[in-house]
Structure 1
Amino acid sequence: MDCFSYRGAELYAEDTPVEAIVERFGTPCYIYSRKALETALAEYQSALAGCDHLVCYAVKANSNLAVLDILARQGAGFDIVSRGELERVIAAGGDPAKVVFSGVGKRPEEMAFALEQDIACFNVESAAELEVLAAVAAEMGKVAPVSVRVNPDVDAKTHPYISTGLKENKFGVTVEEARQVYRRAAQLDSIAVVGIDCHIGSQLTEISPFIDALRRLLALVDELAGDGIELRHLDLGGGLGVRYADETPPAVADYIAAIRRELGERQVKLVFEPGRSIAANAGLLVTRVEYLKPTPAHNFALVDAAMNDLLRPSLYQAWMDIQPVRHRDGSEDASWDVVGPVCETGDFLGKARQLRLEAGDLLAVSGAGAYGFTMSSNYNSRPRAPEIIVDGASIHCARERETIADLMRGEHRLPD
């Protein structure tokens, strides 16, 4: 189901005209579809039916409380990388017993808080982290459930900034080191070894890298079993890509089916950590054209959203579709660079887009539900945009637009 579609010339979010949302909340503005979020999560749950599993939504993709609430109500677990994300999950009604804690730099106080909440598992990313976690748990009289994040040295064939499974990446431990880390973990009274974890990158559009990584993990699982270390769950991370332009990522059902075929008769709980594939195409960023600036070299459409609102095009050179909220009759399309007001040449949402524009028009940037608002900033002292949830014909303000006063809260001038 496409939850963002045109009815005649006008773009709708579910059963709500996008123009009506903008009239109420202004621009720039993030709009999310509840139906799209629920449908994307349900694809994973359906594909995993019949086997022990846990789908842990990656909070870093979109951490809005309303988004987390929607997914928690549908039975999702959560993949977190900070105490702040765990606090968000709890505030949104998520179950800590369905939380896995990833990330390479967990602080002792974060570990302690997560232990107090009785989370499902810590994804340990180094031998040093294991020792700190063991000490924190022992001091608290707790036993920390752990899996070791293994870096299988598999090329995910994605942007280098979101490739995480190569030996030169900072994440996880090598297959060779992992066996030693597991042996050490098994010796620690305050550690319970429960699983193995792997995440090779984001925006993957082929199944083969996942299978390559899985085979390397399974070989290690068998070696560990020979050491007397039995693992109860296999966490394959996330990373399944979505369509932004002409990508053809596998369907969730095909991806999960390939994993299950490779596992055969192994009895192990499957854990996945999808983020982008649940949230990306559940969201739009809507922006208004402030000025048109034709030049001999380029036609610039100057809009009120900027790189501080949506960083992906500037940071990753990511292509995101940009379409009018209302199709305009009359003049011919022209090629436009859609750029923002931030004082950086890298401040753009899209280049060389064929659009029929006039000042005041609204544009919708698709695929903005993941790594959109969550990566936004206040650069140039710009307040962050509101986040709106659409549920059929109902509109819910999930985050109010920041004010200038919000930006300066907590700052202080020097005394006289």
Structure 2
Amino acid sequence: MSCYRLQNILTALPACIKITYNPQPCYLTFTSPTSNNSRVLCCGYSSKNQVKKMEAGHHDLSKVTVVGDPQLLQRRIDAVRLAGPAKLQVIADFDGTLTNYFVNGRRGQSSHGILKQGNAEYDDKRQALYEYYHPLEFSPTIPVEEKTKLMEEWWGKTHNLLIEGGLTYDAIKESVTSSAIAFRDGVVELFEFLEERDIPVLIFSAGLADIIEEVLRQKVHRSFKNVKIVSNRMVFDNDGRLISFKGKLIHSLNKNEHALEMAAPVHEHFGDGDGPINDNASVRKRTNVLLLGDHLGDLGMSDGLDYETRISAGFLNDNIENNLSNYRKAFDVVYLNDAPMWGVVKLVSQMCSTDKMSGNDKSSGITGGAGAAKAPGSGSTGSVSGFDSGATKDGTMKAPGQDVRISMEGFEKNPAGYFRDLQKK
């Protein structure tokens, strides 16, 4: 984002917001008059330059992280931490959330866009449907009920074309092999961290589960027993030819926990014989949620779940000037410019820490204190968790992938470095 375009952001903000400009590197600090601790950092690097710095190993997350209300986020982190990992589940969108928005300096492909069924006529027909229905999907004038029917119509026609056009599983493999799709740096480590703590991950997608699984197979080369995919699933005959779709149709307006019966563990399709960590009923009992998405509509993925605490993390990959204000209001934390997943790894480590907490605990890097609500029965006005602010803690956490304890502060400062060193052992 060049400096002369900062005016687009400034005009979108309320006049009461105090703004401090730092040109080297270029970023803004926003301070709300209602809370001196509420501030936002906006990265001033262009997306391509920022991606290059990330790839070079410079994970300065403060330059790509936006937190609209640090005190509220801290209270939610403390609530999840107090309840423990057994109450936590992670809900994640796939395209543009788990995967990079840019790949090799160009716009990456989505799991929808990579599919070539080996029949040009039917590829063209599916593209024609896209060109007709896609504008309707984002039309602000079409009522939700009518739009839902249109999406069901679009997805149904597309699925029929895949069957009629003779899609084979070999075509899916070839499509993924030749695709420009890649996972964000840190996604595998996030899955491993959660797997070790028996925390389920639900990947919600309005696309095709079989394609997502093939992407995992080719790009990650391993399975995760805690990961399930909630998406449209294909049925193939003995010759690997698509003959039907299984279960409920999932489209862009109903990919939420109402569709949980469509969830299937990834490991079943990798030939892993171990059973899943959680069945769908037990997942619903996990009433604390970390939600990951890249569109405002992804916030609806938790619909159907009676959650107690939800922390939402949004990836704002492009068009930041026009969307930052809305994303900052909607998500608890926003990661800019196609950022890596290390910020979420750090966030999860804070949520799963066994440290005792207080309203003055700044181990998460998010200021608490004055705005923290009094916990019932805590007897301390500054306590979020119910622990007294003078409680002791050893500042350690269980090391991911090892049966030892390590400094949580050290891990949070450089999670990427920790996992790199672990892989060398």
TM-score (norm 2): 0.26
TM-score (norm 1): 0.27
More strand as a share of residues: 1
